[in-house]
Amino acid sequence: MSKEVLVQFMGFQSKDTVREYTFQVRELSTDPREFTISIDQDAFNARLVRFQDAPDICSARLRRELTAFANHPEESHFHITRAELEEYRSSHTVAKRSMFHRVPNEGY
């Protein structure tokens, strides 16, 4: 993806089986293009994804597609897979710390 590309999140629509996230991609030399990325409603219900993380997940997918196809993917609609959700979740999960952690004995 070149630096001359602007990816803008335009909003989402909640449908019966999916939530569709819409993005507009602008380049200096072409008219704006619209892309939609969908996530199954079941993924939200099963807590595989949080509502506030969905635009970031979709944006990352769109950026991967733009990079892979020199800013011009053949398709304009993509679907987020369960594997992508699990990958995002594992890469953004902070390890929980114990409430009671031991402080090393410093000889006091």
pLDDT tens-place string over residues 4-19: 899 999 999 999 999 9
Residue 96 lies in a domain: no
State the CB neighbour count (10 A cutoff) for residue 51. 11
Q: The whole model's pTM is what?
A: 0.80
Residue 36 lies in a domain: yes
Residue 43 lies in a domain: yes
Residue 21 lies in a domain: yes
Residue 82 lies in a domain: yes
Domain that holds residue 57: 6-91
Distance (Å, whole) CA 49 – CA 19: 12
Give which of 26, 31, 24 is closest to 8, Cα–Cα: 24
pLDDT tens-place string over residues 41-94: 999 999 999 999 999 999 999 999 999 999 999 999 999 999 999 999 888 776
Residue 101 lies in a domain: no
Distance (Å, whole) CA 58 – CA 10: 12
How many domains are there within the chain?
A: 1
Distance of CA 81 to the CA centre of its chain: 11
Q: Which residue has the tokens 């999140």?
A: 9
Residue 97 lies in a domain: no
